Amino acid sequence: MSDLLRQDIIASAELIVVKVGTRVLTRDDGQLDTGRISKLAEQLQSIHATGRRVILVSSGAVGAGMNLLGLKKRPQDVATLQAVAAVGQARLINEYDLHFRNQGYHAAQVLLTADDLDDRKRYLNVRNTLLRLLQMNAVPVINENDTVAVDELMRTFGDNDRLAAVVTNLLRASLLVILSDVEGLFDGDPQLATSRVVPVVTDIDATVESFVRDRRGDLSKGGMSSKLEAARIATTAGENVIIASGRRLEALSEILEGRCVGTLFVAQGKSITPLKRWIGFSAQPRGTFVLDEGACQAILTQGRSLLAIGVREISGKFEKGDVVSLRTSSGEEIARGLTNYDASDMERIYGQRSTKIAEILGHCPYEEVIHRDNLTIV
């Protein structure tokens, strides 16, 4: 049954996002593996030959830079890390373009920051650019712009796994393939002979989360936990994800043939609208609403809008139309939405009935604090 499910998903995938991890692109000695890049280019060409389109999200800039600069350990300070990424990015995109041109198409470098997808207009501009590149027989090679992104300023995606999921949602690609150095999600410690790859995940629940066994190295930043989060982002929006080993030379071809390679994470429900994808997974929340239990249930199980009476606490500096995070009393985020009221008005009306809003503010432009059409379950 799982094989048929895979084959159906692959057969219907017209646009595919492929994410390649640092450990896939480098040899054991830390050198950039140009042979593997060449092999990847061949497999991408075979996908092109079927009429499908491909977006590549690639790590490896820091690793390539470390190699060129003779560094043995990943830098710890931001300035040095960004400088190393700048050196390595030039080498990385040059290798991609060299091997892609051998296959008859071009590499197009696209460097993004979280701010690029936080702003709605820039978000749409990025989408339009990527789609036009595909029309021009180019393969967009996307990476986070490490030379300007700073974790401390909350302007990074965190890692390229999450970036790949956000790009998948941006383009409504029905399949995200994450190629790493592990065969997939194991049901135990991957180092143990008794552990097995989980072939299909239909729900990322506590049991699935308990399978994560991460190890981190000097070159890469992500781990299975970040890949699981990427899978959650993409599947929540209605897309499918496969996590597999990029160390297998024909991994991508085998996946596109529908073979049981890696772990398939199945889409959760129907594909959601572009606006809701932006609200839920790209825009950065400017504030937080803590909801009572009744409001949480109304949103999660009844498909209702959020009313002021269901809000118990607010925080942050936000304007009307900003994205805010909706959380339970225990702090769990359940949704994000566009607020109809700014922070000063919310301070006055939260916890009140909708019939009281006009009396408190002198007018009542909206009965709902957040309308259901502008709300995304996360």
| DSSP symbol at 356 | G
Residue in this structure with the two tokens 């941006």, named with its chain if needed: 170
Say whether 169 sits in a helix, a strand or coil. Answer: helix
- Domain-by-domain residue ranges, the chain? 2-276, 285-377
Which whole-number Å values give the CA distances from 361 to 139, 306, 351, 353, in the listed order? 53, 18, 14, 13
Tokens at residue 152, please?
């401390």
- Give the least confident one: 79-83, 106-110, 161-165, 290-294: 79-83
Pairing of strands 323-327, 333-338: antiparallel
Taking a C-beta distance cutoff of 8 angstroms, is the pair 258, 7 a contact? yes
CATH homologous superfamily for the domain 2-276: Acetylglutamate kinase-like (3.40.1160.10)
pLDDT of 12 higher than 50: yes
Span 141-172, pLDDT tens digits: 999 876 665 553 334 555 789 999 999 999 99
Taking a C-beta distance cutoff of 8 angstroms, is the pair 108, 138 a contact? yes
Span 298-312, pLDDT tens digits: 999 999 999 999 999
Provide the whole-model pTM. 0.86
Tokens at residue 65, please?
């830079």
Residues 6+ apart with CB under 8 A from 64: 32, 87, 88, 89, 91, 92
Q: What pLDDT band is residue 270 in, cutting at 50, 70 and 90?
A: confident
| DSSP symbol at 322 | -
| Fold topology of 285-377 | 2.30.130
